[in-house]
Structure 1
Amino acid sequence: MLSSSIPIMVEAQSTHTDQIYIEDFQSEKCESLFKFRNENLFTDVFIYVEGVEFPCHKVILCASSQYFQAMFSCDLKESRHGKVFIENMSPWTMKRLLDFIYTAKIEISYENVIELFNAAVLFQLSKLVDKCISYVKQNVDLSNCVEIYLFASMHGLTDLHTHTYQFILENFRLLIDLTIDLYSKLTEPPCDNLFAQLNSRPMSNLTLEQARENFYSSFIRLDQKSFCNLLESDQLNVKREIYVYYSIMKWIEYQSQCNNQKEVSKLHEQLFKHLRLNSLSKEELEFILSNDKMLHQNEQLKQKVQLALGDFESSQENIRPSTLPKDYICSLAVDNFDLFDVSKSKWDRLVEWPPAQLKSEYEFEQMFDGYSVCTVNNVLYVIGGMVKKMDTTELKNSVYRFDPVKNEWSSLSSMRTKRAFHHTIHLSKSKEQNYILVMYGLTNDQEEDLEQGQFFKQSMTIEFYTIERDEWKEVNILNNSILSHHLFSLYHRTEVHHFDLTTLVSFQIEQSKLVVGLKNLIYILNDNCIHCFEFDELNVNSYLPYFRLPKNLSGFVLAKAVSFKTANILTQFDMESSGKKSLFSWYSDSEDKSPSMSSTSSNSLQSPTIHDYDEEGSCKRVIIRQEKEALMFILNPEQGLLYEFYPGKNKLLRLPNLILKHDKFASFVLKIKSQVIVTGGVGDEDGFFHIESYDRDTRQWSVLTKYPVSVNKIEQYKMINSFFRLKMSLV
């Protein structure tokens, strides 16, 4: 008889598990293994380096290194006897390597990195190999770049090889300086004047011992293929092409020690082909023709140089890019003159500031502040300002000129009035008639030094500087009621309220943000209206009608007027009825190549493009022509709004919003090719402003870089960096 089965309920147990990792346990295990090795506990193999014994554990070595894993997996004598002998390695390196295997910790320095790298390669410690390469890559400099480049080539380290090659390209000019220093110590100094001028560093910098050590980083140790690759690259960074010629001659001179004359002449011919003759000056070409003996032995090369010399004025092809001037965003502050290379996103400080003339006149624990800057035809003018000690302040009327081509400062005729925190604008009637107009600012009637913060008042005068005559004159504003009223209202405002110096400074900077110059016209933004005044040397005339901003737009500043914008206008003509129909127009950026052009006139840039066609039996003609329009910017920095303003048409065009809000006083607008640059961006990081860039092609903003906020150490107010654009050939 079958008994009935009674189901039994079994409570299911939980299948959930937790995977736990105890970090301290892992580190304690490493410490224990390290202790076992040092105390020779449980060891089963011994490594010998130059007679020094290192007890180890096979399992640890095999787990860390494929080299040891292969050794102990086979029936080799090292595996049977438990003894491993390592050659061509120091005991110090072996100890550091074993410490790394047991603890994953190691100290890498410039002195030991090559030894550690070679040992890591031998024992196939890939992680340590990568760390060594990364360390070397981060520490490439002029003193070791060639040595590291050759090392990377020897070991096939592609990434390190590319990195050092790029470093040599970018710093080739400085590498030549180093080589000149080396030759001045190891051999005779350069005897010819042209080569002697190339060196920008004192030849006494290096001792004989340092020269011998640094010789290994001279470019003359490069092999021919690598050297040729450098010379033919467009990225080779030299200020003048004569540096390339110098490097060729020094490289050949070094190679001549181990080559016969025929081979040296062949090297000269091969390398000379990489010299870009069109980048050399007339003086430099004549120097090469007169002094290069090997050139006279090669008639073909000689004729090539003679042809370049004969065609010197017209030949502009194949010029090395680094020898051409390029645009820099320049920042002038109290004690520094900084340059920002947009293409490399890099700041440099290569220009002397303050100039030597000013340093010799004052002791420079003092502060030079309140000056204005203006650029005219790629030349910088620094005008006026004040020199402050702890208890006195002296206003200045000095004028300094900086030539970026010659990289030198000079003094010009002084202003008629001493003033600070004033505003300057560039005006011109033609290419030969350029003026710098100075208005606003703080001034004082007394000649002696003033106690800080006392007796300053708003300037009521406007003066202008004629660049071609180096002469200052005062502008007659009495006949212009609008401009006179504008200046008097500013003067009255400061007189009534008796502002302190800090408030007066802020007021002057605020006013300077409302004035721009475009050709011979002055634009002033006042009460939401843009007033226009025409300037000549005898008078300032009002230019009507003025432009009123929309009522919903407020808090704006009139940003810097820029060069012209090209308008491409498409027009259709009906040739039978003589009817005319404007289809549409579009804009493209271009540099202003016609300084004499009136700011409000339209001028033809090129011959119109004409297309004739038939449309349903009607003969029609389409003409595309180009005209230039003046362009300036209207900026609301605190809201991040930017408008393009076309004064010839009284037309506003809004650009996309900026990424950041901008400081009202620190905002400058520049135009570099197709980019619009705005400074003074306020980010999350205290003590820094940011620079934004607008790309017209993508219609997008991006943050380019940041720069520190300058603070007046005496008055404790923010000081405004002056931003402007210069074309310079600096390496």
Structure 2
Amino acid sequence: MGEELPGGLLFQDQDFSSELLRQLNGLRQNRILTDVSICAGAREVPCHRNVLASSSPYFRAMFCSNFRESSEAKVQLKGIESTALDQIVLYVYTGEAHVTAENVLPLIEAASMLQYPKLFEACSSYLQSQLTPSNCLGMIRLSEILSCETLRKKAREVALTRFPEVATSADLKELCALELRDYLGDDGLCGEEEKVFEALMVWVRHDVQARRRHMQDLLRLVRLPHVHPAFFQHFIAGDALLRASPACQLILEAAQRQMFSLQGTPSAPDCQPPWHVPPRSSYRDFLILLGGRKDSQQTTRDVLLYDRQTGQWQSLAKLPTRLYKATAVSLHRSIYVLGGMVVGTEKRVPSHDTYIFSLKLNQWRLGQPMLVARYSHRSTTHKNFIFSIGGIGEGQEVMGSMERYDSIRDVWESMASMPVGVLHPAVAVKDQRLYLFGGEDIMQNPVRLIQVYHISRNTWFKMETRMIKNVCAPAVVLGERIVIVGGYTRRILAYDPQSNKFVKCADMRDRRMHHGATVMGNKLYVTGGRRLTTDCNIEDLASFDCYDPETDTWTSQGQLPHKLFDHACLTLQCIPHASNFPRA
């Protein structure tokens, strides 16, 4: 209760101030020594001028200056509701206020006007706790009126992170063009680009006559390169309002050429949408591992997801069936698993089935089957197409055939066969060309060839090279080069299609094959596989490594959940939905 000081004792009564407030409130309630009544409408509350003046700059200026209110018995507070007045006076005399859904709006307005900043922030915190997609836009308007920055930031965060739900609210239709532009142009907006387009058109159709003049500018904010091509074809390209606008029609025509032409014909600069615009920051890259042989060398149905932000592995919905040496690619934010040999049946035969996985739904469905059953083949994508190449057929023959899946028309079609049928080549697409590096022949001898397919011409040519000797190795596009990752070797080769030259990169630690590789954030990630030891034994791996081309160095990312080889490894870009990702 006290503190020793030189020459005496400093006495401190911790309860005195709160007891004083309690006594003052008792005096107020009994109208003892009250000298002013503050009024809101017909409501009058007796108070003490000195208490009010001590509680806020607003009342200090009113009662301690030469304003007429300083001597009036009743003071009318305009713009204050009676329910808020009671809470304000209670707060002044007790330091407490009961903030509810019914009184928070008049109370925060009163706290702002009468200059009670802590009560103002308490009301703001309560409003922030009540934010939903249906009310956040209204809260932003309120925050701007009240100059409440904390509420504005929190409400805007809800508006951006839950935009698909916000887009269905009535408040979105009431935004002005500049406000909508601010949302659609925000890189942090969290929603598929299809939802962004739908929100734009809902807004326009709410008042077509007044808003159609804004369509061109707002349409440019829809990141068309990241719209699913089928959605573009069916819902954007044919939209009557857009087609009625010559300026919008130019944007759509340019988009169609870029999205659907194999040549990628450039459009006029004045109507070209920003084709190199990145996806919004809410999109994230996830590394996916599918199938393969694990631990005891049994073919697995496991599907694993790696989140770089958390460094965690998570299990997803399992493959519908066990498939030996199937291939997998990512296209339009989905995974396509193609062919493979069905494991677990009495008669092992190659499959021509296609399974499609949605990360958003964490579900598999059956797609259009390939024309030819195959396993140990290679697959890759370009624009709206999947190419499935070579492999082993139903007669156990090495095939040189290739077929192409058109994801817009949902059909497979035969294409020109490769010049030399090989197994396990490294495959990648760059600059309108599909490259097959190396592989092995039917006698398991390495093939020292680069086979190149011109996609728009449907023609092949081949080049012999002594640099190529890879088998069971993946290839990835890293920057402007195609990188061939190992293949019974530690060697990493970067091929430049423009100069037709190879550059050696830093070696891997092990002689590696049957591994997976993918690119995330301009870095190469290599998963699992098998290694050839110094005494020529083969060892299964659970290693997980990263190559940085800027520093030409390798770093370990830890371990996979289990040893794994002959698996699919790919990157899938989407907006995460945490509820779909159960922990491994």
Please tell me the TM-score bracket, short chain as reference.
0.5 to 0.7
Determine helix, strand or coil for the equivalent of 1:109.
Answer: coil
In 1, are the aligned partners of 2:496 and 2:502 still within 8 Å (CA)? yes
> Could you say which residue in structure 1 is the equivalent of 2:495?
605
In 2, are the aligned partners of 1:42 and 1:57 still within 8 Å (CA)? yes
RMSD (Å) for aligned C-alpha atoms: 5.9
> Could you say which residue in structure 2 is the equivalent of 1:652?
none
Residue 301 (structure 1) aligned with residue 259 (structure 2): no
In 2, are the aligned partners of 1:45 and 1:56 still within 8 Å (CA)? yes
In 2, are the aligned partners of 1:341 and 1:347 still within 8 Å (CA)? yes
> Could you say which residue in structure 1 is the equivalent of 2:417?
none
Supply the distance in 2 between the matched residues of 1:287 and 1:730 (Cα, whole angstroms). 21
In 2, are the aligned partners of 1:44 and 1:57 still within 8 Å (CA)? yes
Supply the distance in 1 between the matched residues of 2:311 and 2:34 (Cα, whole angstroms). 55
> Could you say which residue in structure 2 is the equivalent of 1:61?
52
Larger-gyration structure (1/2): 1
Name which of 197, 218, 226 aligns with 2:179: 226
> Could you say which residue in structure 2 is the equivalent of 1:22?
13
Supply the distance in 1 between the matched residues of 2:547 and 2:7 (Cα, whole angstroms). 56
Name the CA shift for 1:39/1:340 in 2 (closer, same or farther; >3 Å). farther
> Could you say which residue in structure 2 is the equivalent of 1:404?
358
Mapping for residues 242-391 of structure 1, pairs under 5 Å: 242-256=194-208, 261=209, 263-280=210-227, 281=229, 284-285=232-233, 287-293=235-241, 295-296=243-244, 298-312=245-259, 313=261, 314=264, 317-319=275-277, 321-322=279-280, 326-328=284-286, 342=308, 376-377=328-329, 379=335
Supply the distance in 2 between the matched residues of 1:140 and 1:346 (Cα, whole angstroms). 31
Mapping for residues 690-705 of structure 1, pairs under 5 Å: none
> Could you say which residue in structure 2 is the equivalent of 1:666?
none
Q: Kindly state the Cα deviation for residue 122 of structure 1 after the two structures are TM-superposed.
A: 1.2
Q: Kindly state the Cα deviation for residue 233 of structure 1 after the two structures are TM-superposed.
A: 2.7
Mapping for residues 186-585 of structure 1, pairs under 5 Å: 215=170, 218-240=171-193, 242-256=194-208, 261=209, 263-280=210-227, 281=229, 284-285=232-233, 287-293=235-241, 295-296=243-244, 298-312=245-259, 313=261, 314=264, 317-319=275-277, 321-322=279-280, 326-328=284-286, 342=308, 376-377=328-329, 379=335, 403-404=357-358, 407=361, 408-410=363-365, 431-432=378-379
Residue 96 (structure 1) aligned with residue 44 (structure 2): no
Supply the distance in 2 between the matched residues of 1:42 and 1:608 (Cα, whole angstroms). 93
Supply the distance in 2 between the matched residues of 1:100 and 1:400 (Cα, whole angstroms). 67
In 1, are the aligned partners of 2:184 and 2:222 still within 8 Å (CA)? yes
Supply the distance in 2 between the matched residues of 1:92 and 1:249 (Cα, whole angstroms). 42
Name the CA shift for 1:172/1:317 in 2 (closer, same or farther; >3 Å). same
In 1, are the aligned partners of 2:327 and 2:377 still within 8 Å (CA)? no
Supply the distance in 2 between the matched residues of 1:153 and 1:134 (Cα, whole angstroms). 16
Number of aligned residue pairs: give it. 427
Supply the distance in 2 between the matched residues of 1:151 and 1:294 (Cα, whole angstroms). 34
Q: Kindly state the Cα deviation for residue 231 of structure 1 after the two structures are TM-superposed.
A: 1.9
> Could you say which residue in structure 2 is the equivalent of 1:148?
139
In 2, are the aligned partners of 1:431 and 1:596 still within 8 Å (CA)? no
Determine helix, strand or coil for the equivalent of 1:605.
Answer: strand
Name the CA shift for 1:23/1:167 in 2 (closer, same or farther; >3 Å). same
In 1, are the aligned partners of 2:377 and 2:391 still within 8 Å (CA)? no
Name the CA shift for 1:603/1:120 in 2 (closer, same or farther; >3 Å). same
Supply the distance in 1 between the matched residues of 2:145 and 2:124 (Cα, whole angstroms). 14
Name the CA shift for 1:307/1:671 in 2 (closer, same or farther; >3 Å). closer
Q: Residue type matched to 2:119 in 1?
A: L
Q: Kindly state the Cα deviation for residue 596 of structure 1 after the two structures are TM-superposed.
A: 8.3
Supply the distance in 2 between the matched residues of 1:289 and 1:695 (Cα, whole angstroms). 41
Name the CA shift for 1:318/1:247 in 2 (closer, same or farther; >3 Å). farther
Supply the distance in 1 between the matched residues of 2:117 and 2:159 (Cα, whole angstroms). 27
Supply the distance in 1 between the matched residues of 2:206 and 2:476 (Cα, whole angstroms). 54
Supply the distance in 2 between the matched residues of 1:347 and 1:107 (Cα, whole angstroms). 43
Residue 37 (structure 1) aligned with residue 28 (structure 2): yes
In 1, are the aligned partners of 2:56 and 2:115 still within 8 Å (CA)? yes
Mapping for residues 624-635 of structure 1, pairs under 5 Å: 626-628=503-505, 631=508
- CA deviations 1:308-354 (Å, max 9, x no partner) are 2133243782445149963236899xxxx9978656x79999x9858
In 2, are the aligned partners of 1:431 and 1:595 still within 8 Å (CA)? no
Supply the distance in 2 between the matched residues of 1:469 and 1:322 (Cα, whole angstroms). 41
> Could you say which residue in structure 2 is the equivalent of 1:555?
none
Q: Kindly state the Cα deviation for residue 26 of structure 1 after the two structures are TM-superposed.
A: 2.8
Q: Scaled by the length of structure 1, what TM-score is found?
A: 0.46
Q: Kindly state the Cα deviation for residue 603 of structure 1 after the two structures are TM-superposed.
A: 2.6
Supply the distance in 1 between the matched residues of 2:327 and 2:239 (Cα, whole angstroms). 41
Q: Kindly state the Cα deviation for residue 118 of structure 1 after the two structures are TM-superposed.
A: 0.3
In 1, are the aligned partners of 2:493 and 2:505 still within 8 Å (CA)? yes
Residue 108 (structure 1) aligned with residue 55 (structure 2): no
Supply the distance in 1 between the matched residues of 2:24 and 2:545 (Cα, whole angstroms). 57
In 2, are the aligned partners of 1:232 and 1:274 still within 8 Å (CA)? yes
> Could you say which residue in structure 1 is the equivalent of 2:165?
174
Name which of 67, 72, 79 aligns with 1:76: 67
Q: Kindly state the Cα deviation for residue 223 of structure 1 after the two structures are TM-superposed.
A: 1.6
Q: Kindly state the Cα deviation for residue 85 of structure 1 after the two structures are TM-superposed.
A: 1.8
Name the CA shift for 1:42/1:117 in 2 (closer, same or farther; >3 Å). same
Q: Kindly state the Cα deviation for residue 150 of structure 1 after the two structures are TM-superposed.
A: 1.6
- CA deviations 1:116-143 (Å, max 9, x no partner) are 1100011011222222223333432212
In 2, are the aligned partners of 1:563 and 1:591 still within 8 Å (CA)? no
Supply the distance in 1 between the matched residues of 2:17 and 2:120 (Cα, whole angstroms). 24
Q: Kindly state the Cα deviation for residue 56 of structure 1 after the two structures are TM-superposed.
A: 1.4
Supply the distance in 1 between the matched residues of 2:182 and 2:57 (Cα, whole angstroms). 38
Supply the distance in 1 between the matched residues of 2:39 and 2:70 (Cα, whole angstroms). 14
Ranges in structure 1 where 5+ consecutive residues have no aligned partner: 1-12, 180-214, 359-373, 385-398, 413-427, 434-465, 474-518, 521-534, 542-561, 567-588, 610-623, 632-644, 650-668, 678-691, 704-723
Supply the distance in 2 between the matched residues of 1:268 and 1:233 (Cα, whole angstroms). 17
In 2, are the aligned partners of 1:564 and 1:590 still within 8 Å (CA)? no
